[in-house]
Structure 1
């Protein structure tokens, strides 16, 4: 089981002080958070991809390449790589290069994003979002797996005798997760290829998450990749912790109430009841996270959103200390207990390479 954090890279005013960090401060903070994640023993750091204010991570490979040079074991991932508006050729090249620089500590999550205007900014039509995701990913897979590609499709110029460089490290493409909140077509795409499915369930009730993951598991088995229980599943989550749950609620409330994504809507209490957001003590976070298995079965990756809504860097680093020292060790033990032996671990470059060598 892999545990980590993901950042959307929002630049949001701190509602308790009124101060807004500069873009430079926010970018440097994301790096500091990634380094802290490795320090406290987490497995994964993932960054979003956005091309509009108030977000800063428009170039994930640049950030992850810098972090790769300053870490030793952290898996570097994306919380969304825009498969719809990025050219598959550029994705193939950029992430293969990152894979080499990071000695294989790379995977990525394909998604369509949640910002409609990004489509025309990159010359695409939002009404073609799903077809773009399907066609672009089909091409990306070929670019990583075939040395010479001839290809023609609907959304980009044809390729004739094209070779993407550099080739994937050890001939093993980065593992791909397909991220979706509400699109069954994306769950089907992940299942068809035997890739991972990441349900970023931070805004959704457990029943919706269960339906999406069940669909993916059923289709994973239908396409012959294994049993439903062997499908590769990841989940998102949001937490804020203090030793005393009342202190956590009191401190987090102004950030929740003013957050761009859910502020001025349901109350904090309503939101924590209806979604995976957990605000309380470390023990409450442990119990809530363990309950996710009741909804989706044994799964492989759990990522938490912790640096959003204007929370200052000092507070986020304190949260990571608690997560790494008190929460994740217990979660590792508890999730491992009773885990069936045929449920696979989360894919890594080393594991995929070993499997490839054993099959050859």
Structure 2
């Protein structure tokens, strides 16, 4: 099972000091967080994609390419690549280049995004979000798998004899996760192609996540990719830890109360009761995270959000130390207990290359 961090890259003032980092400071802090992810033994660093303040990750592959040069082991991913407003040709090119730069340590999560104005900024109509998702992804798959692509559709100009350069590393495209907060059509798309499904999970109750994951698993089996428990599932989570739970709650409360997304809404206690947010001791985070399996089944990737709402870099790095030293080693051991052999690990470039070679050998 893979464990890691996903960031939304918000630039938010620290409510306890009033200081707001510059955009440059926030970007450099993100790089430091990614390096720390590798240092403490986690598996994945993922960045979001946003094109509006107060966020800075408008060019995820640029950021990940820089991080690739500073790391050796971690998988570099996105917690959203906007399949709706990005040109599929550019997505295919950018991630092929990133594959080569990182020696294959890359996958990506496709999503629609939740910022309405981004659609007209990139020449699209939000009312066509689902058709855009389906058409763009169909083209993206062909670009990564065919030497010469002739294509026409509704939302971009036709292609005639287009050849992607560079081709995917070792002829194997990066693994694709489809991320969603609330959209069943995204779960259906992931199931249809046999891709991964990532339930964002951090804003909704367990009952909602359970329904979305079950839908994906059922449709994955329906399309003949394997049994439902072999579907590739990822979950988000959100934590803040201190050795004593009361200290964690007291320290995190002002950040929660003033967070850009959910601040000035439900109380910290209400939100923690209704969503996967866990503020407390490392043992409480372990217990809560293990409970995800009760409604999501055996899954492959767990990403945590820990660096938002103005939390200082020093505090975020302390959270990573706690994850790496006290939480994730226990989670790895506990999640392995009772896990059926037929449940696959999360795909990596190496496993996809092996699968491609085995499939080629089986061809007559």
TM-score (norm 1): 1.00
Runs of 4+ in 1 over 6 A off after TM superposition: none
SS at match of 1:124: coil
2:125 is the alignment partner of 1:109: no
Matches within 5 A, 1:167-206: 167-206=167-206
Alignment partner, residue 150 of structure 1: 150
2:219 is the alignment partner of 1:219: yes
Alignment partner, residue 141 of structure 1: 141
CA distance in structure 1 between the aligned counterparts of 2:182 and 2:18, rounded to whole angstroms: 34
Matches within 5 A, 1:235-250: 235-250=235-250
SS at match of 2:202: helix
Alignment partner, residue 118 of structure 1: 118
- Show CA shifts across 1:96-146 (max 9, x none): 000000000000000011100000000000000010000000000000000
CA distance in structure 1 between the aligned counterparts of 2:192 and 2:300, rounded to whole angstroms: 19
Gaps of at least 5 residues in structure 1 are: none
TM-score (norm 2): 0.99
C-alpha deviation, 1:359, in angstroms: 1.7
- Show CA shifts across 1:148-203 (max 9, x none): 00000000000011001100000000000000011111000000000000000100
Gaps of at least 5 residues in structure 2 are: none
Alignment partner, residue 68 of structure 2: 68
SS at match of 1:150: strand
Alignment partner, residue 19 of structure 1: 19
C-alpha deviation, 1:277, in angstroms: 0.1
CA distance in structure 1 between the aligned counterparts of 2:359 and 2:164, rounded to whole angstroms: 25
- Show CA shifts across 1:245-267 (max 9, x none): 00000000000000010000000
Alignment partner, residue 283 of structure 1: 283
- Show CA shifts across 1:39-80 (max 9, x none): 000000000000000000000000000000010001000000
- Show CA shifts across 1:200-219 (max 9, x none): 01000000000000000000
SS at match of 2:138: helix
Alignment partner, residue 334 of structure 2: 334
CA distance in structure 2 between the aligned counterparts of 1:183 and 1:280, rounded to whole angstroms: 31
SS at match of 2:304: strand
Alignment partner, residue 165 of structure 2: 165
Alignment partner, residue 293 of structure 1: 293
CA distance in structure 2 between the aligned counterparts of 1:243 and 1:224, rounded to whole angstroms: 46
CA distance in structure 1 between the aligned counterparts of 2:293 and 2:170, rounded to whole angstroms: 34
Q: Number of residue pairs matched?
A: 360
CA distance in structure 1 between the aligned counterparts of 2:90 and 2:243, rounded to whole angstroms: 46
C-alpha deviation, 1:356, in angstroms: 1.0
CA distance in structure 1 between the aligned counterparts of 2:10 and 2:205, rounded to whole angstroms: 24
Alignment partner, residue 233 of structure 1: 233
- Coordinate RMSD, CA, aligned: 0.4
- Show CA shifts across 1:17-58 (max 9, x none): 000000000000000000000000000000000000000000
2:46 is the alignment partner of 1:30: no
Alignment partner, residue 207 of structure 1: 207
Alignment partner, residue 7 of structure 1: 7
Alignment partner, residue 49 of structure 1: 49
2:260 is the alignment partner of 1:269: no
CA distance in structure 2 between the aligned counterparts of 1:173 and 1:267, rounded to whole angstroms: 43
CA distance in structure 2 between the aligned counterparts of 1:355 and 1:143, rounded to whole angstroms: 20
CA distance in structure 1 between the aligned counterparts of 2:80 and 2:19, rounded to whole angstroms: 28
C-alpha deviation, 1:358, in angstroms: 1.5
CA distance in structure 2 between the aligned counterparts of 1:40 and 1:14, rounded to whole angstroms: 25
SS at match of 1:266: coil
SS at match of 1:340: coil
Alignment partner, residue 128 of structure 1: 128
- Show CA shifts across 1:309-360 (max 9, x none): 0000000000000000000000000001110000000000000101111121
